[in-house]
Amino acid sequence: MISPILFWFVAIITVLPALSLLFARKAVHVAMAVILVMVGLAISYVALGAPFLGVVQIVVYTGAVMMLFLFVLMLVGVDYRESLKETIAGQKWIAFALSIGVGALLISAVSRVKFGVASTMTEGGPAEVAPLLYGDYVLVVETLGFLLITAAVGALVLTHVPRLFPRRTQSEMQAERIAAGANPVNKTFPGVYARHNALDAPALDPTGEPIEESVSRVLKIRHQMSDGAEFKDENRSRRRELGAKEGDA
């Protein structure tokens, strides 16, 4: 027999997250909650003598299906919010009434029938399930193989986008940039050579002035750039040490 603690644990970690399907605003939160539901169902499968199915549930649902949902959520944009405008007047209340009705109908129908419970519990491991799968149900397994291949091809066909324009090669893009007046030479690398090397310090030109564009744009936006003045002065004093006259290039 199944311990009541386990049953109520499973009931709580399936029904409460499942309610987020109705009330959560963000689709990502719903997806995470549904993952928890799947794990709860896997626990109940193991408790019901189907450990193989429990593992398959974890692998297929939490591992593959829900991750696929998350991928698609990222493709369509995580911040997508649904509109609150109702196209059908009172749709919310009709939907609530219908679903509560379905639930009540199912529960009352089940409660009216008396079920016996087999005293022997199936082991439900792969060794027990496999002979059944590849014996009695081998045709179904093969048909499901066809179905999976068809589904994979179908997904490829549905998400395939035909190319509208010929692909632009790298040399074409380069020729375009040069024609538009881009500098054909590399930008100066950051860092003050021979004295100092850091990505946040601008390179110095031959006159000792810092070159602004040698520092990465990202560092500039984050204000993590050093302005190079310290190196400029240091450079001057260094040259003075070496005996060069002030103002020499």
CA–CA distance from 62 to each of 3, 6, 82, 129, 220 (Å)?
25, 21, 25, 22, 42
Tell me which of 39, 43, 61, 62 binds another protein, using CB under 8 A: 61
Of 80-119, binders to another protein (CB under 8 A) are 80, 82-83, 85, 87, 91-92, 94-96, 98-100, 102-103, 106-107, 110-111, 115-119
| Region from 44-52, 192-200, 208-216, 219-227 binding another protein, contact rule CB under 8 A | 44-52
**What is the smallest separation between the CB atom of 165 and another protein, expressed in angstroms?**
17
* Continuous segment of H or E residues that includes residue 203: strand 203-204
Torsion angle of the four alpha carbons 105, 106, 107, 112, in this order, in degrees rounded to the nearest 10: 90
DSSP-assigned beta bridge partners for residue 235: none
Three-state SS at 5? helix
Total of residues contacting another protein (CB under 8 A): 84
Within 160-219, the residues that bind another protein by CB under 8 A are 161
**13, 38, 39, 201: which one binds another protein (CB under 8 A):** 38
Taking the least distance from each CB to another protein, the nearer of 2 and 244 is 2
Task: Single out the residue of 126, 138, 142, 147 in contact with another protein (rule: CB under 8 A).
Answer: 147
State the Rg of the chain over Cα.
33
- Name the minimum Å distance from CB 157 to another protein: 8
Residues 57 and 50: beta-carbon distance below 8 Å: no
In a 10 Å sphere around its CB, with 0-12 CB exposed, 13-18 middle and 19+ buried, how is residue 129 labelled?
middle
Q: At closest approach, how far in Å is the CB of 167 from another protein?
A: 19
* Residue 68 touches another protein, criterion: CB under 8 A: yes
Q: What span, in angstroms and rounded, lies between the C-alpha atoms of 222 and 156?
A: 42
Check residue 22 for interaction with another protein (CB under 8 A): yes
Find the helix or strand (DSSP H, E) in which 142 lies.
Answer: helix 138-159
Q: Identify the bridge partners of residue 204 per DSSP, sorted by sequence position.
A: 210
* Window of 37-45, 186-194, 213-221, 225-233 that interacts with another protein by CB under 8 A: 37-45
- Smaller CB distance to another protein: residue 147 or 198? 147
Q: Give the interface segment with another protein, choosing from 142-150, 189-197, 219-227, 235-243 (CB under 8 A).
A: 142-150
Is residue 154 a contact point for another protein (CB under 8 A)? yes
10 binds another protein (CB under 8 A): yes
Residue 32 makes contact with another protein by CB under 8 A: no
**Max alpha carbon distance in the chain (Å)?**
106
Residue type, 85: K
CB of 160 to another protein, least distance (A): 9
Return all residues near 69 (Cβ < 8 A) that are at least 6 apart. Answer: 31, 34
* Total number of residues shown for the chain: 249
- Residues in region 112-141 near another protein by CB under 8 A: 115-122, 124, 128-129, 132-133, 137, 140
